[in-house]
Amino acid sequence: MQDKPIKVLVVDDSALMRKLLPLVMERDPGIRVVGTAMDGIFALKKIRTLQPDVITLDILMPRMDGLATLQQIIEEFRTPVILVSSLTEEGAQLTLKALEMGAVDFITKPKGDLSTGLERIGGELIAKIRAVARATLRKPLSLSLPHPSLASKGSVRSLTSADRVVVIGISTGGPYALTTLLPALPIHFPAGLLIVQHMPEGFTTLFAERLDQICEIQVKEAEDGDLILPGRALIAPGNRHLQVKRMPLGIIAELSDDPDVNGHRPSADILFTSVASHFGPKAVGLIMTGMGSDGVEGMGKIRASGGTTLAQSEESCVIFGMPKGAIERGYVQKVLPLEELARSLQEICKEEE
């Protein structure tokens, strides 16, 4: 018996987007666009009657904007939402806020000719719809955390290169998960952290700045030559690979424009492989929520080098693809829910002192 098609509701104030997005999606026979809405007020009415499996949601709309609409969807329907974001700074800021609230993923509106641009990202959109169709929106995060001043962060951080490192590979659902994990790490966290979050250029800069505001550890977008320091998290820039390199002063971050790996740049596999060779048993690999298989083989290399390997549990992932692949291959030593990962990382890194 053939599976029922995935029902999608398109919410966008642009009449052209409401016309083009369904044309792109319905090239996949497993997807059926059951309706469109020009703003959040119409969208909420249609969700009640059409009961879609997935919603694509524009952020910038009149009357009821994307954030207000998303909040209502989370509270009333729990239907997975893929955001449709502009590449402007305002669009990126709002998108990151919506991802923290519980939206499961996003695509960016193409620049220039919309029809040509949507052709280019059509495969990505269809893959994301298929991946998130069974996902559930997370509850909005409560971020009432103390925000240490930049001065206090700087005064307690060691300038000695870290001799141990935690590397994280993460994709769909990542902004929510990292905004849960990283603020739970203490300012004196004894290891450096390196993170590959699949995200376009521009978004990683704003995401790192947002995380730095709510974390005790320092969080920044990685730059060439950054030292790997205890209590500092470096996030790979969108569209650039992140690796590590040993120098006289210690191990540093190195960025490259090498070709995509597993369809991704940055790639978790690139980072994990580099860290395995430079840190060996002092590496901790963590693979978290995300679709696809990026990072899976890199986790195997960390395990083979004597490092410690962890994965986020299925029930706490938006998409279990990346952790599942690593677990099935026997590369993961411990599987933990999202809320237990910070405590486990602290215990592991303390044991290694």
Q: Is the backbone peptide bond immediately before 266 cis, with ω within 30 degrees of 0?
A: yes
Write down the catalytic residue from 198, 226, 241, 267: 198
Sequence-separated (6 or more) residues with CB below 8 Å from residue 58: 11, 12, 13, 14, 17, 66, 83, 84
Question: In degrees rounded to 5, what are phi and psi of residue 52?
Answer: -70, 155
Asked if residues 288 and 345 have their Cβ atoms less than 8 Å apart, the reply is no
Task: Assign 3-class secondary structure to 71-94.
Answer: HHHHHHCCCCEEEEECCCHHHHHH
Say whether 85 is catalytic. no
Say whether 171 is catalytic. yes
The two tokens of residue 20 are 């083009």
Query: No. of H helices and E strands in the chain?
Result: 12, 14
Say whether 278 is catalytic. no
Write down the catalytic residue from 53, 105, 294, 313: 294
Write down the catalytic residue from 85, 171, 274, 313: 171
Asked if residues 81 and 73 have their Cβ atoms less than 8 Å apart, the reply is yes
Write the single-letter amino acid at 240: R
Asked if residues 85 and 94 have their Cβ atoms less than 8 Å apart, the reply is yes
Instruction: Tell me the catalytic residues.
Output: 171, 198, 294
